[in-house]
Amino acid sequence: MPDLLLELFSEEIPARMQRKAAEDLKSLVTNALVEAGLPYEGAKAFATPRRLALHVAGVPVGSAATREERKGPRVGSPEKAVEGFLRGAGLSSVDEATIQNDPKKGDFYVAVIEKPGRPAIDIIAGFMPEILRNFPWPKSMRWGSTSTRWVRPLHSIVATFGPETEDPDVVPFEFDGIQSGRITRGHRFLANEAFSVRRFDDYATKLEKHKVVLDADRRKEIIQNDAKDRALALGLDLVEDPGLLEEVAGLVEWPVVLTGSFDEDFLTIPDECVQLTIRVNQKCFVLRNPDTGRLANRFALVSNLVAEDGGKMIVAGNQKVIRARLSDARFFWDTDLKSRLSDNLPKLDDVKFHEKLGSVGERVTRLIALSAGLAPLVGADETKARRAAELAKADLVSHMVYEFPELQGLMGRYYAAAQGEDASVATAIEEHYKPQGPSDSVPTDPVAIAVALAEKLDLLAGFWAIDEKPTGSKDPYALRRAALGIIRIVLENGLRINLGEAVLSASGLHQVKLDDPSALVADLLAFFADRLKVHLKDEGARHDLIDAVFALEGQDDLLMVVRRVEALGKFVSSDDGVNLLAGYKRAVNILRAEEKKDGAPVTGRPHADHFQEQAEIDLAAAIDTARAKAADAVKAEDFEGAMEALSMLRAPVDRFFDDILVNADDPVLRMNRLRLLAEIRDATHVVADFSKVAG
């Protein structure tokens, strides 16, 4: 079957846009093929700084002919209804329609619409200009006198279609005055001549000869391996940086790795500052001394040239810029160290956190109070927790963080350590932002835990108070991440915290007036429940079991919630659990139906003197025993024991439904038995709300 080759050749495409643009091209073209009745066998997209390319394999030579019968109005319907049917079916008169009989509804007009198949090359030529015209670039530009937009000036379009055994045809279309063809160009500096291509294999091979590595992942592999080899030759290790590797692979078509150096004196700056300075300003990788674990005064750069002098001029140019930027970084570092972190605190009053939530200085005041309250709950020293919270945001107004905002917290730790602050305080300044994602670690030092929890509780309570909650896919203040962070900190450190009280304390520190603080707490706890479902999803926990536990009043101790969910999960998967759940649902369904019929809920305890059958007597006794044992086990936080106590109900519940007619003719007897069913419901609710459990 034929293959399709596309290439869009332009000026340099920003590295950050390349991979998504390639996938967008693939998605747009393949969707258009399928919609046109042209299923394909496989497709792969590629991007380099100067080109987007797409190879679609196994495309049919043409679309199949189609025949559709479209049912219309009944014969004798109003004229307008018939005209609308004819217009939609593309018929000029009812004479072109057929009439079919429906035994129940009479005669109907039917249009038989037949569409002949079309050559695939014509279909592709038809939809390509529209795809290019509406291509979803994040930013685009116009050039020359045309109104067409593209990310950068477009120079040529390759579009060929045909089977392996034949010379492919050019897919004929035009975009912005550029006629599709089979001519492209090689590397801008190393092989800039034009050349003709046929199909993908021929295209990729010729590009390689013209110093272009088409596949971005292969360029990344070349860069990574060559950089490691050059580092090894120097007795050093490459500090791997996946984000930088992705970016640099989008800057070169023919990667050449070189190494350079800088003055050792700059290594007095923290390693992270050195790395970020070199990364941000020159897109270079840093190297580490394996013996010390510290950075070496060497770096690896990626050139897009095979230079005649072996890259000496390129390295020298990079070294000059890096020297200047590291001089700036050292100035920031030295200047920041001349004043204590606490000297920065008054400046935070002038930094706005949020229009409705005050300044960063006001936020620090709240963090101090929250951290002090949380300290005894997490085993932290209250004085240290207060000090860490006080200094947690002080580095935000430092010179280094102003230049590199991503160093917030980390620089605070360095400054605190250099100024003799307690080690736990310094650690907390850095780690109170953690975790910042699913792969990030959580704080483990008690002082850091207290401040990290305070940071996230203040964030959530504040934005809930001003009704700035996440909606759909929008979460501009990362509130989902904050809630997940609290969940992970609590669970991974095995902490016992009353989350409702913590939220209430956090909301009370804000100046926002709340009509009903308890409503805010309830809503925020529901948000935590949803985030807990997300967190436990990978561990196989069922959402309905989490709902069943959270439905009980006062369930805001996350650690106990998870342990209860785990025990409930084991129970409902056992034979006793399955049968008791079935009995519970049968009891609840009967109660629901009878309460609806009576117009009132079933209340009160059953009377022993109204029992007439042994199955009633046995069930009542089993409920009393199971409920007491389950309640004691829950109080002792022995949730598996509570489930075991409930399992005692399985046999008497089964026997009750086998032997007893609940809706007896005697109204007193009927009500007593309904109350016994209500006892089943209430006894299980000691452990969880079984009505939330699926099955």
Structure tokens at 186: 């090689």
User: Looking up tokens 């030579």, which residue turns up?
Assistant: 61
Least confident of 104-118, 294-308, 594-608: 104-118
Beta bridge partners of 62: 119
Average pLDDT, integer, range 601-606: 90
Q: With 80 as the cut, is the pLDDT of residue 67 above it?
A: no
Residue 307: pLDDT band (50, 70, 90) is very high
Residue by residue, DSSP assigns 614-661 as HHHHHHHHHHHHHHHHHHHHHHTT-HHHHHHHHHTTHHHHHHHHHH--
Structural domain boundaries of the chain?
Answer: 3-62+119-209, 66-115, 216-337, 342-540, 569-692
CA distance 456 to 459: 5
Residue 473 has pLDDT above 90, yes or no: no
Q: Coil, strand or helix: which one is 494? A: coil
Q: What is the structure's pLDDT at 90?
A: 81
Per-residue confidence (pLDDT) for residue 71, from 0 to 100: 84
pLDDT in tens, 184-194: 999 999 999 99
Q: What are phi and psi of 664, to 5 degrees?
A: -70, 160
**C-alpha distances in Å from residue 662, one per residue of 627, 656, 669:** 22, 9, 8
What pLDDT score does 68 carry? Answer: 78
- State pLDDT tens for residues 200-258: 999 999 999 999 999 999 999 999 999 999 999 999 999 999 999 999 999 999 999 99
Q: With contact defined as beta carbons under 8 Å apart, do 486 and 528 qualify?
A: yes
Provide the pairing of β-strand 169-170 with 178-179.
unpaired
The pLDDT, as a whole number, for residue 89 is 81
Average pLDDT in the 388-416 region?
96
pLDDT digit string (tens) for 42-54?
Answer: 999 999 999 999 9
pLDDT of res. 91: 84
Q: Which helix (H) or strand (E) holds 554?
A: none
Strands 174-175 and 42-48: unpaired
> Terminus-to-terminus CA distance in the chain, angstroms?
50
What is the architecture, at CATH level 2, of domain 342-540?
Orthogonal Bundle (1.10)
Cα separation, 123 vs 6, whole angstroms: 15
Task: Please give the angle made by the CA atoms of 359, 364 and 369, to the nearest 5 degrees.
Answer: 130
**Domain 569-692 in the same topology as domain 342-540:** no
Domain 569-692 has CATH 1.10.730.10: yes
- Rounded mean pLDDT of the chain? 93
Residue 66: pLDDT over 80 = no
Backbone angles phi, psi at 78, to 5 degrees: -55, 150
Using CB atoms within 10 Å of the CB of residue 90, give its burial: 0 to 12 exposed, 13 to 18 middle, 19+ buried. Answer: exposed
pLDDT band at 533 (very low <50, low <70, confident <90, very high): confident
pLDDT at 364: 97
Which residue(s) pair with 297 in the sheet?
none
Structure tokens at 71: 């049912």
Tokens at residue 574, please?
């056992």
Residue-level pLDDT at 410: 96
Cα distances (Å, whole numbers) of residue 129 to 141, 171, 179, 309: 17, 11, 11, 45
pTM: 0.78
**Cα gap 529→523, rounded to integer Å:** 10
- The string of pLDDT tens digits covering residues 209-222 is 999 999 999 999 99
**Tens-digit pLDDT profile for residues 640-673:** 999 999 999 989 999 998 999 888 889 999 999 9
- C-alpha–C-alpha distance, residues 146 and 151, integer Å: 14
Other beta carbons less than 10 A from residue 142's beta carbon: 12
In angstroms, the Cα distances linking 548 to 141, 361, 484, 527, 599 are 55, 41, 20, 15, 27
Per the omega criterion (within 30 degrees of 0), is the bond before 652 cis?
no
What residues does 287 pair with on adjacent strands? Answer: 238
Is residue 330's pLDDT more than 90?
Answer: yes
Q: Residue 667 CB: number of other CB atoms within 10 A?
A: 8
* Closest among 314, 290, 188, 190 to 239, alpha carbons compared: 290
- Cα distance between residue 174 and residue 194, in whole Å: 20
Task: For CA atoms 526, 528, 531, 536, give the dihedral sign.
Answer: negative
Q: Among 69-83, 167-181, 288-302, 349-363, which is the least confidently predicted range?
A: 69-83
Is-contact 292 252, C-beta < 8 A?
no
By residue count, the chain amounts to: 695
φ/ψ region of 425 (left if φ > 0, alpha if ψ in -120 to 50, else beta) reads: alpha
User: In 10 A of CB 187, how many CB atoms?
Assistant: 22
Report the pLDDT averaged over residues 554-563. 86
> How many Cβ atoms are within 10 Å of 292's Cβ, its own excluded?
8
